[in-house]
Structure 1
Amino acid sequence: MGRYVILFTSVFFIFFYAASGQDLAFDEESKLKEFQDTDLPSQRFDVFFNSLDRYNVNSAYDWLDTIKIYLSNAQKTEDTTATRLYKVMQAQVYNDLGEYDKSTALAKELYDIKDSLDTDSKKVILDVLDDNYANLQLYDKQIEIRKQKRELGITNNVSFYDIYSNLGLYRKARNQYIMEVKPTIADNDSYGLAKYHSKVGNYLRLDDSAPTALSELKKANHYLGVYMNDITAQKSASDMFESELLKAEIEGNIAKCHVMMGNYEDAVPLLQSSIETLTKSPYNKDKTEVVDNTLFLAEANLQMERFSEAKKHLDTEFDNISVLQTIKKNSLLAAFYDKVENFKNASIYYKRNERIKDSLAKKQSALIKQQLVTIVANEDLENSQRLIDEQKKINELARSEMKAKDERINLVFISLIFTLLGFAGLVYAYLKSIKNQRLIAEQKHIIENSLVEKDSLLKEIHHRVKNNLQMVSSLLSLQTKNTRSKAAIVALEEGKSRVKAMALIHQKLYQNDDLSVIEMQGYIESLINSVQSVYKKGGHNISITIDAEGTELDIDRAIPFGLILNELVSNSFKYAFPENDENGKIYIHLRKNGDQGYFEYTDNGIGLPEDSDERAHSSMGLRLINRLVNQLQSKLNVDRDQEGVRFWFNFS
Structure 2
Amino acid sequence: MKNLLGTTLLVFFHCLFCISSVVAQDSTETGEGLFRKFQNKETLEERFEFFFNAPNRYLENSAYDWLDTVNVFLNNAQKQEDTTAVKQYKLMQSQIYYDIGDYDKSLAINKELYVKKESLDLDTRTTLLNLMDENYSKLELYAEQIDIRKEKKELGITENIAFYDIYSNLGLHRKAMDDYFEHVKKTVDEKDYFAQAEFYNNVGTYLRLDKSTPTSLNSYKKAKGFIDVFLNDVTKIKSDAEVQEANLLSSKIRGNIGKCHLQLGEYEDAIPFLEQSIEEMTEYTKGLYSADIIENRLAIAECYLQLADLERATDFLSDDMQLRKTENKIKKNRLLSIYYERTDDYKNASLYLRKNIRINDSISINESELRKQQLATVMAEEKANTRSIMAAQKQALEEQRSEMIAQDERINLVFISLIFTLLGFAGLVYAYLKSIKNQRLIAEQKHIIENSLVEKDSLLKEIHHRVKNNLQMVSSLLSLQTKNTRSKAAIEALEEGKSRVKAMALIHQKLYQNDDLSVIEMQGYIESLINSVQSVYKKGGHNINITIDAEGVELDIDRAIPFGLILNELVSNSFKYAFPYDEENGKIYIHLRKMGDKEGFFEYSDNGVGLPEDTEERTNSSMGIRLMNRLANQLQTKLNIDKTAEGVRFWFNFK
Q: Does 1:516 align with 2:478?
A: yes
Mapping for residues 7-406 of structure 1, pairs under 5 Å: 27=30, 29-282=32-285, 285=288, 287-315=290-318, 317-384=320-387
- Secondary structure of 1:348 counterpart: helix
- Secondary structure of 2:118 counterpart: helix
Cα contact 1:298–1:309 (8 A) shared by 2: yes
Cα contact 1:28–1:56 (8 A) shared by 2: no
Structure 1: runs of 5+ lacking an equivalent: 1-15, 392-510, 524-552, 560-589, 603-628, 639-649
The whole-number CA distance in structure 2 between the counterparts of 1:23 and 1:201 is: 40
Q: Size of the alignment, in residue pairs?
A: 416
Shift of 1:25: 10
The whole-number CA distance in structure 1 between the counterparts of 2:310 and 2:350 is: 18
Bigger shift: residues 145-154 or 284-293: 284-293
- Secondary structure of 2:316 counterpart: helix
Q: Aligned AA for 1:304?
A: L
Cα contact 2:101–2:289 (8 A) shared by 1: no
The whole-number CA distance in structure 2 between the counterparts of 1:83 and 1:320 is: 32
Identity in percent? 41
The whole-number CA distance in structure 1 between the counterparts of 2:311 and 2:292 is: 23
- Secondary structure of 1:208 counterpart: coil
The whole-number CA distance in structure 2 between the counterparts of 1:146 and 1:24 is: 44
Shift of 1:248: 1.7
Residues 1:258 and 1:631: Cα distance change in structure 2 (over 3 Å): farther
The whole-number CA distance in structure 1 between the counterparts of 2:223 and 2:27 is: 28
Mapping for residues 576-615 of structure 1, pairs under 5 Å: 592-593=532-533, 597-599=537-539
Cα contact 2:534–2:540 (8 A) shared by 1: no
Q: Aligned AA for 1:593?
A: V
Q: Aligned AA for 2:60?
A: V
Q: Aligned AA for 1:379?
A: E
Q: Aligned AA for 1:229?
A: N
| Runs of 4+ in structure 1 over 6 Å off | 386-391, 629-633
Structure 2: runs of 5+ lacking an equivalent: 1-18, 396-472, 484-488, 496-529, 543-574, 585-607, 609-623, 625-655
Shift of 1:177: 0.8
The whole-number CA distance in structure 2 between the counterparts of 1:316 and 1:131 is: 27
Relative to the length of structure 2, the TM-score reads: 0.57
Residues 1:204 and 1:97: Cα distance change in structure 2 (over 3 Å): same
Q: Aligned AA for 2:153?
A: R
Q: Aligned AA for 2:269?
A: D
The whole-number CA distance in structure 1 between the counterparts of 2:490 and 2:223 is: 36
Q: Aligned AA for 2:241?
A: S
The whole-number CA distance in structure 2 between the counterparts of 1:98 and 1:632 is: 64
Q: Aligned AA for 2:76?
A: N
Shift of 1:212: 1.4
The whole-number CA distance in structure 2 between the counterparts of 1:310 and 1:35 is: 41
Alpha-carbon RMSD across the aligned residues, in angstroms, is 3.9
For residues 431-458 of structure 1, give each alpha carbon's deviation from its aligned partner in whole angstroms, at most 9, with x where no partner exists. Answer: xxxxxxxxxxxxxxxxxxxxxxxxxxxx
Q: Aligned AA for 2:478?
A: S
Cα contact 2:54–2:241 (8 A) shared by 1: no
For residues 28-79 of structure 1, give each alpha carbon's deviation from its aligned partner in whole angstroms, at most 9, with x where no partner exists. Answer: 8433333333333223222322322322222222222222222222222222
Shift of 1:288: 1.0
**Rg: which structure is higher?**
2
Cα contact 1:28–1:54 (8 A) shared by 2: no
Cα contact 1:258–1:267 (8 A) shared by 2: yes
Bigger shift: residues 26-35 or 195-204: 26-35
Cα contact 1:278–1:284 (8 A) shared by 2: no
The whole-number CA distance in structure 2 between the counterparts of 1:85 and 1:119 is: 12
Shift of 1:124: 1.4
For residues 586-632 of structure 1, give each alpha carbon's deviation from its aligned partner in whole angstroms, at most 9, with x where no partner exists. Answer: xxxx9542897344999xxxxxxxxxxxxxxxxxxxxxxxxxx9999
Cα contact 1:337–1:346 (8 A) shared by 2: yes
Q: Aligned AA for 1:164?
A: Y
Shift of 1:80: 2.0
